[in-house]
Amino acid sequence: MTRELGAAVRAATARLADAGVPSPEADAVALAAHVLGTSAAEVRKAMVLGRAAPDGYETLVDERARRVPLQHLTGRAGFRGIELRVGPGVFTPRPETELVAGLAVEAARVVAAGGASPVVVDLCTGSGAIALAVKDEVPGAQVHAVELSPDAYAWALANRDALALDVDVRLGDATEAFDDLLGAVDVVVSNPPYIPAGMEPVDPEVRDHDPGVALYGGDPTGLAIPLVVAARAARLLRAGGRLLMEHADTQGGTLPARLRATGQWRDVVDHVDLNGRPRATSAVRSTARSAEEPA
């Protein structure tokens, strides 16, 4: 007997809630929308009208109950005003990172308002989320991005091409990238690996499915990799250029303090996300250089 869509979604919601999925009802509807090839709003309408549940729906619900990321099951992740293709091998962009992208957009718009074409670099781009969002929202910007993982790089290229956004995406190490842009960049933005070594993410979606190279910051503080990425940003930025960097909610004091201590940065400010948790640091490239800093 064919199951009615409303009953199927309600049962899926209960199943996902029992499995600890944080947003069970929204995910149940999103999976139905994916199978039906329609929107969440249309699913809700179809539930009222008594439409039959689609074949394959319960299989996807089973996968989500096993905490396979929703975005891996649908192949899509919304990020600000764009939709990204995601899946195994690439970090799934999350709402917290939209804050960082927004800060980069604002910084690029300030440069554009002065009559220049902003030069923006995204270090550790992953799926390309931040770089592509900046290009989408500041079309006149010259946007460059780099990613270390060949798998993630392939996703970034696919997203760039699908969105038809003119972004320079390179495969390489963020700590060595863009020798051709030294001292010429207006905005550097980064969501680097920052989870402290030895700390296991709580969410199975992160722990079991996001690539480790995108997660762990290289030492017990989680700041080893962010700090070398910031050092590269300092070489890329012109004097007065701006760095925006995402961090863990436990690093809202430590990352700004470490950046100030280098002598490379001024106006170091931390920013909270929509949940009020420390999430990103902004800093302006100082005109002064320390004695140990390469020219």
d(CA 246, CA 224): 14
Please determine, for residue 211, whether its predicted confidence score (pLDDT) is greater than 80.
no
Residue with tokens 């709402």, as numbered in its chain = 95
pLDDT at 32: 94
Mean pLDDT over 113-138 rounds to: 97
| Higher per-residue confidence, 289 vs 4 | 4
pLDDT at 291: 41
Instruction: Tell whether 118 is in a known binding site.
Output: no
Give the model confidence (pLDDT) of 30-55 as tens digits: 999 999 999 999 999 999 988 999 99
Cα angle vertex 223, ends 222, 225, to 5°? 100
d(CA 140, CA 108): 9
Give the model confidence (pLDDT) of 247-261 as tens digits: 988 999 999 999 999
Q: What single letter denotes the amino acid at residue 187?
A: V
d(CA 43, CA 177): 45
What burial class does residue 50 get, using C-beta atoms within 10 Å of its C-beta: 0-12 exposed, 13-18 middle, 19+ buried? exposed
Please determine, for residue 168, whether its predicted confidence score (pLDDT) is greater than 60.
yes
- 73 vs 31, 87, 92, CA distance in Å? 8, 8, 12
Paired residues of 85 in beta bridges = 76
Q: Which two tokens stand for residue 170?
A: 């390179």
Instruction: Tell whether 216 is in a known binding site.
Output: no
- As a CATH number, domain 80-285 is 3.40.50.150
d(CA 197, CA 216): 6
Query: Of the candidates 260, 247, 254, which has an alpha carbon nearest to the alpha carbon of residue 286?
Result: 260
d(CA 285, CA 241): 5
**Please, where are the H alpha helices in the chain?**
5-18, 24-36, 40-49, 57-65, 70-74, 95-113, 129-137, 150-163, 204-207, 224-236, 254-261
pLDDT at 40: 92
- Is the alpha carbon torsion for 56, 58, 64, 66 positive or negative? negative
Where residue 2 falls among pLDDT bands split at 50, 70, 90? low
Instruction: Report whether 65 contacts 119 (CB < 8 A).
Output: no
Cα angle vertex 74, ends 71, 77, to 5°? 40
Instruction: Tell whether 69 is in a known binding site.
Output: no
Domain residue limits, the chain: 5-66, 80-285
d(CA 109, CA 140): 9
Please determine, for residue 200, whether its predicted confidence score (pLDDT) is greater than 90.
no
pLDDT at 121: 98
pLDDT at 196: 81
Please determine, for residue 195, whether its predicted confidence score (pLDDT) is greater than 90.
no
